[in-house]
Amino acid sequence: MIESATTRDRKRYETAQRITACALRLTDRHGLDGYTMEQLAAAADVSRRTLFNYFPTKLDAVLGAAPEVPAEHVDAFRAGGPHGDLVEDLAELARVALSGTTQDRATVEIGRRLLAGEPRLLVATHRRFEGITDEFVTLVLEREGAGFDPARARLLLRVVLTVFDLALDAFVADRAAGGADLVDLFDRQLRDVRELFR
């Protein structure tokens, strides 16, 4: 039977998630330098070669794969959609990225704790967010035209990423209640921010 691209993509995503969850647990128990890539491969039940195909370093494995936004959503944003409001349309891209993830609270909680205690992870996370910001600033400028201030686009992206960060904090804090998913929490945080600046 021929495997569909969707099925292959799903399996690839699940494998990447499993590797990252194992990397987070191993780092939480032993520190970033306290285990080898071979031990990570064994914990994730993948070959060493497969592990390196997904993540070239332990740091990359702990950070996990960056959320992706399908091209059709990016194209719709670039064309001024889907709602015609820049902030709401950026939020829609964030929702699409978040809805493609299946994060469990315990794993996110470990990641948040490690960020607070491992400077290399904090630096790497900051670099990743800067890269994401750069990509989306370019996208905003393509959409809004040359007259749109790049500094303003960067500010907007940093606000959206801060809202995302706050949603992660709320996601972990909401564990006991078994409550909302990341998309809902992102929407709540964004609504609160927008109301504050009215």
**Alpha carbon of 12 to those of 5, 8, 51, 53, 166: distances in Å?**
10, 6, 11, 11, 28
Q: How far apart are CA 101 and CA 93, in angstroms?
A: 13
Reported confidence tier of residue 178, pLDDT bands at 50, 70, 90: low
Radius of gyration of the chain (CA): 18
Structure-model confidence comparison of residues 83 and 5, the more confident one: 83
79-88 residue pLDDT tens:
999 999 999 9
CATH number of the domain to which 14 belongs:
1.10.10.60
Which pLDDT belongs to residue 37?
97
Domain end, chosen from 13, 40, 62, is at 62
- Both 26 and 100 in one domain: the answer is no
pLDDT of residue 175: 57
CA distance 176 to 8: 34
Q: pLDDT confidence of 13, banded at 50, 70, 90?
A: confident
Whether pTM > 0.75 for this model: the answer is: yes
pLDDT level of residue 192 (50, 70, 90 thresholds): very high
- Indicate whether 121 and 56 sit together in one domain: no
Residue 29's CB is within 10 A of a number of other CB atoms, namely 10
Do 49 and 143 sit in the same domain of this protein?
A: no
Q: In CATH, what number is assigned to the domain containing residue 103?
A: 1.10.357.10
Residues 92 and 139 in one domain: yes
Report pLDDT digits (tens) over 55-69: 999 999 999 988 888
* Nearest residue to 127 (alpha-carbon basis) of 59, 32, 183, 190: 59
ω into residue 82 within 30 of 0, thus cis? Answer: yes
Residues 29 and 90 in one domain: no
For 34, the 3-state DSSP assignment is coil
User: Can you tell me the mean pLDDT for 45-63?
Assistant: 96
Range of the domain at 34: 1-62
Q: How far apart are CA 198 and CA 165, in angstroms?
A: 22
The last residue of one of the domains, among 62, 77, 107, is 62
- Tokens describing residue 5: 């691209």
Q: What is the count of structural domains for the chain?
A: 2
Angle at Cα 12 formed by Cα 98 and Cα 15, nearest 5°?
Answer: 90
Mean predicted lDDT score pLDDT of the chain: 89
CB atoms within 10 A of CB 6: 8
User: Which residues, in sequence order, are CB contacts of 7 under 8 Å at separation 6+?
Assistant: none
Q: Read off the DSSP letter of residue 159.
A: H
Residues 149 and 183 occupy one common structural domain? yes
Judged by DSSP in three states, 188 sits in: helix
